[in-house]
Amino acid sequence: MAGGRRVESWYLARFLHEHRECIKGCILRLGGAWTDEDKGFGGASRAMQIGRIGERGNIECAPQDARAPENGFDCILAADVLFETRDPRRTIRELHAALAPNGVLLATFPGTVRLWSATGERNGYRGLSVKATRHLFAEVFPIENLEVRGYGNVLAAVAALHGIRSDSLSEAELAHRDDAYAVSVGVSARKPQTGADPQADDGWEGVNEGCAALSV
């Protein structure tokens, strides 16, 4: 067996490491791209719930886990789930609605050179450029609360395509960032403490019947 890990997983771990101070409080975790090491992040949090993005772009929690906090989540981790749905804009709005004031959404998805279909794993939809990501999230989150970063470069992208694992590249080679060749895009978006909610009518309770029905 090869050492190292998939190049995309390396970037996911790096993204989480860079934002580790945000992973706290009441956490909702979406998506299946997590590795055992990644589970260590947020270990000190009060609650970790597992959810997924539904067919219509809505958020679904497993019923047995569903104890949605009244104010929303302090942190939502969404690894490679946004573009499984037809309507990523709706998903972003719902994630925003599910956050507590000052809560942080940490999301990753494929860049333009690493689409899911190439892994044969699932039918992904679109890879997104770093610039377009900023535009898309700025429709819902204030631009000053947004941090968007592309991970990867031509060498890492080609290695990922060929199924070459991270230990065949040096750390410097993996860490070099060239937005024209983003393998993964990472977004950190903080919901404002107060003030106008751009999607006030799209409230958390209305969004997720599964969680809301079971919340206390």
Partner 1 sequence: MRRAFGITRLGRPSSQPGRGPVRWIATLRRRWPNARFLREVARDASTLIRAGRNRPIAGGVDFGDLRRLAPISRSFGHNRGTPVDRHYIERFLAAKASRVRGRVLEIGGNEYTRRFGAGRVSQSDILHVDDSNPAATYVGDLASATHIPSGAFECVILTQTLQLINEAEAALATVHRILSPGGVLLATMPGLSQISEIDPGYVWRWAFTAQAVRDLVGEHFRQQGALEVASVGNLLTTTAFLYGIATEELTPEELAHHDPAVELLITVTATKARQRDGEGVDGGMTGAGLESEGH
Distance CA 20, CA 11 (A): 14
Exposure string of 29-47, with b = 16+ CB inside 10 Å and e = fewer, is bbbebbeeebeebbeeeee
Q: Are 48 and 13 in contact (CB under 8 A)?
A: no
Q: Any bridge partners for residue 210, and if so which? A: none
Most distant CA pair in the chain, distance: 53
Shortest Cβ distance from residue 17 to partner 1 (Å)? 18
Q: Which is nearer to partner 1, 160 or 189 (CB)?
A: 160
Distance CA 96, CA 55 (A): 18
Regarding 1 and contact with partner 1 (CB under 8 A), the answer is yes
Regarding 163 and contact with partner 1 (CB under 8 A), the answer is yes
Regarding 56 and contact with partner 1 (CB under 8 A), the answer is no
> How many of the chain's residues bind partner 1 (CB under 8 A)?
47
Residue of the chain from 102, 168, 199, 215 that contacts partner 1 (CB under 8 A)? 168
Regarding 214 and contact with partner 1 (CB under 8 A), the answer is no
Positions in the binding site for partner 1 (CB under 8 A): 1-4, 6, 35, 86, 111-121, 123-129, 131-132, 135, 153-155, 157-158, 161-165, 167-168, 173, 176, 178-182
